Amino acid sequence: MNQKDKLERWTIEDSADLYHIREWGVGYFDISDSGDVVVTPLRNNKDISVNLPEIIAGIQARGYDMPVLLRIEDILDSQITHMHESFRTAIRTFDYKGEFKGVFPIKVNQQKQVIEAITNIGTQYHHGLEAGSKAELIAALSFLKDKEACLVCNGYKDREFIDLGLYACKMGYKCFFVLEMPSELDLILERSSALGIRPLIGVRFKLSTQAGGHWTESAGDRSIFGLSTSQIIEVIEKLKSLEMLDCLQLLHYHLGSQISNIRDIRASVQEACQVYAGLVKEGAAMGYFDLGGGLAVDYDGSHTNYMNSRNYSLEEYCADVIEAIMEILDVDKISHPNIITESGRATVAYYSILLFNIFDTNTFDPEPLPETLAQGTPEIVENIMEVLTSLNLRNIQECYNDALYYRDQARQMFKLGKISLRERSLVEKIFWNIIHAVGDNIKHLKFVPKDLTGIDIALCDTYYANFSVFQSLPDSWAIGHIFPVMPIHRLDEMPTRNAILADITCDCDGKIDRFIDRQGIRRALRLHKPRKDEDYILGVFLVGAYQETLGDLHNLLGDTNVVSIRVNPDGSYTFVREIEGDSVADVLSYVEYSPKRMTRRFRATAEEAVREDLISPQERRMIMTMYEEGLRGYPYFEK
Looking at residue 506, what is its pLDDT? 87
Residue 593 amino acid letter: Y
Q: What is the DSSP string of 17-84?
A: HHHTHHHHTTTSEEE-TTS-EEE---TT-TT--EEHHHHHHHHHHTTPPSPEEEEEHHHHHHHHHHHH
* Residue 573 forms part of a structural domain: no
Residues 6+ apart with CB under 8 A from 187: 157, 158, 159, 162
* Residue 611 forms part of a structural domain: yes
Cβ burial, residue 304 (10 Å; 0-12/13-18/19+): middle
How far out from the chain centre does Cα 71 lie?
Answer: 14
Looking at residue 454, what is its pLDDT? 84
H or E, element range at 348: helix 345-348
Residues 6+ apart with CB under 8 A from 294: 211, 254, 255, 256, 257, 258, 259, 265, 268, 343
* Same-domain status, 270 and 394: no
CA distances from 237 to 7, 229, 462 (A): 74, 13, 64
Looking at residue 238, what is its pLDDT? 97
* Same-domain status, 162 and 311: yes
- Comparing CA positions, the residue from 131, 29, 30, 123 lying closest to residue 77 is 123
* Residue 539 forms part of a structural domain: no
- Residue 304 sits in which domain range? 96-342
Q: Are 291 and 346 in contact (CB under 8 A)?
A: no
Residue 277 amino acid letter: A
Q: How far apart are CA 238 and CA 235, in angstroms?
A: 5
Tell me the CATH number at 446.
Answer: 1.20.58
Looking at residue 7, what is its pLDDT? 65
- Comparing CA positions, the residue from 63, 68, 65 lying closest to residue 563 is 68
* Same-domain status, 205 and 301: yes
CA neighbours closer than 13 Å in the CB half-sphere of residue 339: 30
* Domain end marker among 322, 342, 362: 342
Sign, CA torsion 226/231/237/238: negative
CA distances from 41 to 52, 70, 285, 468, 547 (A): 12, 13, 41, 27, 21
Q: Is 34 left (phi over 0), alpha (psi -120 to 50) or beta?
A: alpha
Q: How far apart are CA 427 and CA 418, in angstroms?
A: 13
Alpha carbon distance, N-terminus to C-terminus of the chain: 40
Q: Are strands 248-252 and 200-204 parallel, antiparallel or unpaired?
A: parallel
Residue 543 amino acid letter: V
* Same-domain status, 338 and 411: no
Largest Cα–Cα separation, the chain: 101
Q: How far apart are CA 283 and CA 452, in angstroms?
A: 67
The tens digit of pLDDT for each residue in 539-587 reads: 999 999 999 888 888 899 999 999 999 999 888 999 999 999 999 999 9
* Same-domain status, 237 and 293: yes
* Domain end marker among 290, 317, 342: 342
Tell me the CATH number at 227.
Answer: 3.20.20.10
* Same-domain status, 426 and 304: no
Residue 546 amino acid letter: Y
What is the tally of structural domains in the chain? 3
* Same-domain status, 310 and 387: no
* Residue 74 forms part of a structural domain: no
Looking at residue 221, what is its pLDDT? 54
How far out from the chain centre does Cα 532 lie?
Answer: 31
Q: How far apart are CA 518 and CA 504, in angstroms?
A: 29
Where would I find the beta strands (DSSP E) of 474-531?
Answer: 485-487, 497-502, 511-512, 515-517, 520-522, 525-527
Looking at residue 213, what is its pLDDT? 57
H or E, element range at 151: strand 150-153
* Same-domain status, 334 and 212: yes
* Same-domain status, 436 and 334: no
Averages of pLDDT over runs of 10 residues in the chain (639 residues) are: 67 97 97 97 89 96 96 96 97 98 96 92 96 96 95 95 97 97 95 97 92 54 77 97 97 94 96 97 98 96 92 97 97 97 97 97 91 92 96 93 96 97 96 94 88 88 96 94 97 97 94 89 95 95 93 91 93 93 95 96 97 97 96 92
* Same-domain status, 195 and 330: yes
* Residue 16 forms part of a structural domain: no
**pTM for the structure as a whole:** 0.93
* Domain end marker among 456, 472, 495: 456
* Same-domain status, 383 and 262: no
* Residue 19 forms part of a structural domain: no
The helices-and-strands tally (H runs, E runs) of the chain is 23, 23
**What does the angle CA 601 – CA 605 – CA 607 come to, to the nearest 5 degrees?**
115
* Residue 32 forms part of a structural domain: no
Which of 150, 153, 506, 508 does the annotation list as catalytic?
Answer: 506
Q: How far apart are CA 278 and CA 329, in angstroms?
A: 10
506 is catalytic: yes
Looking at residue 339, what is its pLDDT? 98
* Same-domain status, 335 and 447: no
CA neighbours closer than 13 Å in the CB half-sphere of residue 575: 15
Residue 194 amino acid letter: A
* Residue 331 forms part of a structural domain: yes
